[in-house]
């Protein structure tokens, strides 16, 4: 990985927006950032904005700076492309009429000379996840051709929607016949995550970016899509548990049957499960059937912080940690999908608990996923920290215990 070039400490200025969204740089004003505690950004936390960075105006939110809030300006934030992890949040004062923010990974940004810089670090170099560009109608035609071959398969219809409407990479991979392919399976969930991307509660005031699948698909449909993929992608990955569904372990009997059918047809590739890890016995059923790898999601190793975000029904963090230990003991490739957020992931207490767990239960990889949520909503739910070590330090500490990345790799 290339040696990052850091900017001079006092070389960065405020980048903010007017009400029409026009961005302006002001090198005379030093912006503040939010790392759970509002402070000056450090030079080793900033990199030039990478290709694929998306800029957002945060309506009704006044940027905080070393000389106080700047009236008449709106806070600028960015969303990072795949392969990067956020280190700092934008710092702002929300005005009374500020609308709720949709589910994006709001990241601090500022000006360095004439160039936008962002608070991020590269955490995965996988090429297959770089932004994709299709010629007009190219993806639609590829999807149509495949659907015509198996019109009754409800999985194919679901991932067609996810490919064309949501731009989901693992759904597109089903049609592009490469990498990791999506196998959504569960319309229900036993958690109510505040930042759920497939279902938001009526009083949340925001829409979920995706509609949750409505039907319980069959093992035969799942196996057919998986076998087709592994026939064409020697080291392919087929993954149960996608953004458009609930919790796959609630359908572990169907998943186990699908895995048996897949392994009856194909010996190659990786059968993976993305899950909240809530039911160790259900996971065991999938492992007995032939599961190869599992990625378990969590936002914290502290029971209070986990419960405040996941709002679990009928399970708790203890069950999730038991699932991780079970999968390690059964020899699976185990990844954690760590939902990262400055001020929570790098809280001194969090780091201590996480290191204790990873020392006793070493996993193959920790995927540092930037949590997509309104920071004010998240801090209201889990609380702000007393002391933090900084996200860059937190990621380096994780690296001492496990490989860090952002995607499920074949090796």
The reply on whether position 193 binds ligand SF4 by CB under 6 A is yes
For 401, other C-beta atoms within 10 Å of its C-beta total 16
Q: How far is the CB of 63 from ligand SF4 (least distance, A)?
A: 30
Select 299 or 406, whichever has its Cβ closest to ligand SF4. Answer: 299
Report how far residue 76's alpha carbon sits from residue 299's, in angstroms, rounded to the nearest whole number: 25
Strands (E), 176-283: 180-183, 237-240, 270-275
How many chain residues bind ligand SF4 (CB under 6 A)? Answer: 9
Report how far residue 12's alpha carbon sits from residue 408's, in angstroms, rounded to the nearest whole number: 35
Select 74 or 208, whichever has its Cβ closest to ligand SF4. Answer: 208
Q: b/e for 39-74, b at 16 or more Cβ within 10 A?
A: ebbbeebbbebeeebebbbbbbbbbbbeeebbeebb
- Of 247-276, which residues contact ligand SF4 (CB under 6 A)? 247, 276
**204: helix, strand or coil:** helix
Q: Per-residue contact track with ligand SF4, 230 to 249, x per CB under 6 A?
A: ----------------xx--
Q: How far is the CB of 402 from ligand SF4 (least distance, A)?
A: 22
Q: Find the binder of ligand SF4 among 7, 57, 171, 191 (CB under 6 A).
A: 191
Q: Find the binder of ligand SF4 among 168, 171, 196, 249 (CB under 6 A).
A: 196
Q: How far is the CB of 338 from ligand SF4 (least distance, A)?
A: 14
**273: helix, strand or coil:** strand
Name the nearest CA neighbour of 323 among 353, 365, 281.
Answer: 281
Backbone angles phi, psi at 349, to 5 degrees: -60, -45
Stretch that binds ligand SF4, among 8-16, 64-72, 184-192, 403-411 (CB under 6 A): 184-192
- Calculate the CA dihedral of residues 148, 149, 152, 156 and round it to 10 degrees: -80
Backbone angles phi, psi at 68, to 5 degrees: 100, -175
Select 207 or 393, whichever has its Cβ closest to ligand SF4. Answer: 207
Report how far residue 121's alpha carbon sits from residue 99's, in angstroms, rounded to the nearest whole number: 29
Select 172 or 276, whichever has its Cβ closest to ligand SF4. Answer: 276
Select 34 or 247, whichever has its Cβ closest to ligand SF4. Answer: 247
Q: Per-residue contact track with ligand SF4, 153 to 182, x per CB under 6 A?
A: ------------------------------
Stretch that binds ligand SF4, among 16-24, 115-123, 189-197, 386-394 (CB under 6 A): 189-197
DSSP 111: E
Select 109 or 191, whichever has its Cβ closest to ligand SF4. Answer: 191
Stretch that binds ligand SF4, among 53-61, 121-129, 187-195, 392-400 (CB under 6 A): 187-195
Select 27 or 190, whichever has its Cβ closest to ligand SF4. Answer: 190
Q: How far is the CB of 309 from ligand SF4 (least distance, A)?
A: 9
The reply on whether position 103 binds ligand SF4 by CB under 6 A is no
Select 285 or 311, whichever has its Cβ closest to ligand SF4. Answer: 311
- Calculate the CA dihedral of residues 166, 167, 168, 174 and round it to 10 degrees: 120
Backbone angles phi, psi at 180, to 5 degrees: -95, 125
Select 250 or 394, whichever has its Cβ closest to ligand SF4. Answer: 250
Stretch that binds ligand SF4, among 154-162, 186-194, 300-308, 391-399 (CB under 6 A): 186-194
Select 36 or 195, whichever has its Cβ closest to ligand SF4. Answer: 195
Mention every residue, 6+ apart, whose C-beta is less than 8 A from residue 184.
155, 158, 159, 162, 213, 217, 240, 241, 242, 244, 245
* Dihedral of alpha carbons 343, 347, 351, 357, sign: negative
Q: How far is the CB of 327 from ligand SF4 (least distance, A)?
A: 17
Select 88 or 222, whichever has its Cβ closest to ligand SF4. Answer: 222
The reply on whether position 194 binds ligand SF4 by CB under 6 A is no
The reply on whether position 189 binds ligand SF4 by CB under 6 A is yes
The reply on whether position 213 binds ligand SF4 by CB under 6 A is no
Report how far residue 88's alpha carbon sits from residue 137's, in angstroms, rounded to the nearest whole number: 38
Rama region for 311: left / alpha / beta (φ>0; ψ in -120 to 50; rest)? left
- Give the residues lining the site for ligand SF4 (CB under 6 A): 189, 191-193, 196, 198, 246-247, 276
């Amino acid at each position: 990985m290339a040696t990052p070039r850091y900017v001079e400490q006092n070389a960065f200025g405020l980048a903010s927006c007017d009400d029409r969204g026009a961005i302006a740089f002001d090198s005379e004003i030093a912006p503040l950032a939010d790392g759970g505690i509002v402070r000056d950004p450090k030079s080793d936390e900033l990199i030039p904005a990478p290709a694929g960075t998306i800029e957002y105006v945060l309506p009704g939110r006044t940027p905080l700076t070393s000389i106080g809030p700047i009236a008449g300006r709106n806070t600028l934030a960015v969303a990072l492309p795949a392969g990067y992890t956020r280190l700092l949040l934008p710092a702002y004062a929300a005005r009374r009429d500020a609308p709720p923010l949709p589910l994006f990974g709001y990241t601090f940004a500022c000006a360095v000379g004439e160039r936008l810089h962002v608070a991020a670090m590269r955490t995965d170099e996988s090429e297959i996840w770089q932004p994709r560009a299709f010629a007009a109608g190219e993806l639609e035609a590829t999807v149509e051709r495949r659907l015509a071959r198996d019109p009754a398969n409800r999985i194919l219809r679901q991932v067609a929607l996810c490919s064309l409407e949501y731009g989901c990479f693992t759904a597109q991979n089903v049609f592009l016949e490469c990498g990791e392919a999506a196998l959504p399976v569960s319309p229900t969930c036993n958690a109510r995550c505040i930042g759920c991307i497939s279902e938001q509660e009526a009083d949340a005031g925001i829409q979920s970016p995706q509609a949750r699948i409505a039907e319980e698909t069959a093992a035969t449909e799942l196996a057919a899509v998986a076998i087709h993929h592994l026939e064409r992608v020697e080291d392919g990955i087929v993954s149960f548990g996608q953004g458009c569904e609930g919790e796959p372990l609630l359908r572990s009997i169907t998943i186990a049957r699908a895995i048996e059918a897949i392994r009856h047809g194909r010996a190659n590739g990786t059968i993976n499960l993305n899950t909240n890890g809530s039911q160790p016995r259900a996971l065991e059923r999938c492992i007995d059937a032939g599961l190869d790898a599992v990625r378990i999601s969590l936002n914290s190793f502290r029971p209070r912080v986990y419960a405040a975000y996941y709002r679990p029904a009928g399970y708790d963090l203890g069950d999730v940690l038991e699932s991780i230990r079970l999968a390690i003991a059964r020899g699976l490739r185990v990844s954690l999908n760590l939902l990262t957020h400055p001020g929570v992931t790098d809280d001194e207490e969090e780091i201590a608990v996480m290191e204790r767990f990873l020392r006793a239960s070493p996993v193959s990889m920790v995927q540092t996923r930037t949590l997509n949520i309104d920071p004010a909503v998240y801090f209201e739910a889990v609380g702000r920290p007393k002391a933090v070590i900084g996200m860059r330090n937190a990621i380096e500490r994780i690296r001492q215990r496990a490989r860090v990345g952002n995607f499920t790799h074949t090796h």
